[in-house]
Structure 1
């Protein structure tokens, strides 16, 4: 990544009351994200390990990305992908056991490092940085809540 002014680094920690294997299984099925994550509007498979997506949170623009899996390691609880499109870089989920039920049996850590490539976003990267970061935080909060509901629904079906 070339320019730090166009670069964003994000980290979110989700504590979830579900078994780590169930959380990993939900996170590895990116094609189902639009069913539980409101801001992930579309996901289309390109090949077995790649796909295209459209994401939109509070700000009035869509992000279009292509992702390609570079690591799928259930034993280590790691899912990692390269990202290209309106932003370029990488994203990684790390899923591990998180302790007793009240604090969440699973901890899912999302890390992302991207550089904005879309011309409008590059112009706004510095002056709008707080808004872009807040937009991402809102998206991640909604994703955690959506995944919690999704995982509970799956338990109710059992």
Structure 2
């Protein structure tokens, strides 16, 4: 049993695209600024294990493989509890960089079964995860530029 999810979001952060890409490609330091990313372990030069948990009491174990680390596109292939991709497209705008986020994933097993009755809750949980990303990334980049 497989179920698919697609997510898109757009927001602006107060930093140039190169600085945003630098933070987004530094997976090992995600737990410092993204509260829902609980642990990261580097598995290779382009691969990391990521443990994340949003509001629901369910932890995802993921393996992320870099597809693109070069702006305008920062993308990873996702495997583990989810299979698919997550991509940020970075667009310079007045005052910083617009991030266009797109994620397409498939789930199986218990998570797929839960999605039949609780899809709206899982989507809400993902939105909470991405709200943490947006807030943490904005704070991290703001602090970096305030220090300069």
The answer to whether the superposition gives a TM-score over 0.5 is: yes
User: In the alignment, what sits opposite 1:138?
Assistant: 128
User: In the alignment, what sits opposite 2:46?
Assistant: 49
TM-score (ref. length: structure 2): 0.94
SS where residue 41 of structure 2 aligns? strand
SS where residue 18 of structure 1 aligns? coil
- RMSD between aligned alpha carbons? 1.4
Task: Give distance in 2, aligned partners of 1:135 and 1:122.
Answer: 15
**Structure 2 unaligned runs (5+)?**
none
| Structure 1 position 126 matched with structure 2 position 126 | no
- 1:57-86 C-alpha deviation (Å, 9 max, x unpaired): 000110000011122223xx1111111100
| TM-superposed deviation, 1:150 | 0.6
Matches within 5 A, 1:65-76: 65-74=62-71
| TM-superposed deviation, 1:155 | 1.8
8 Å contact from structure 2 (residues 13, 141) kept in 1: no
Task: Give distance in 1, aligned partners of 2:65 and 2:16.
Answer: 26
SS where residue 94 of structure 1 aligns? strand
Name the structure where strand makes up a greater proportion of residues: 2
| Structure 1 position 109 matched with structure 2 position 100 | yes
User: In the alignment, what sits opposite 2:92?
Assistant: 97
**Structure 1 unaligned runs (5+)?**
none
Task: Give distance in 1, aligned partners of 2:139 and 2:32.
Answer: 11
- 1:107-157 C-alpha deviation (Å, 9 max, x unpaired): 01111110013x221111121110000111111111111111111111232
| Structure 1 position 62 matched with structure 2 position 59 | yes
| TM-superposed deviation, 1:46 | 0.3
List structure 1 runs of 4+ shifted beyond 3 angstroms: none
| TM-superposed deviation, 1:94 | 0.8
TM-score (ref. length: structure 1): 0.88
Task: Give distance in 2, aligned partners of 1:146 and 1:72.
Answer: 20
SS where residue 54 of structure 1 aligns? strand
What is the total number of aligned residue pairs between the two structures?
148
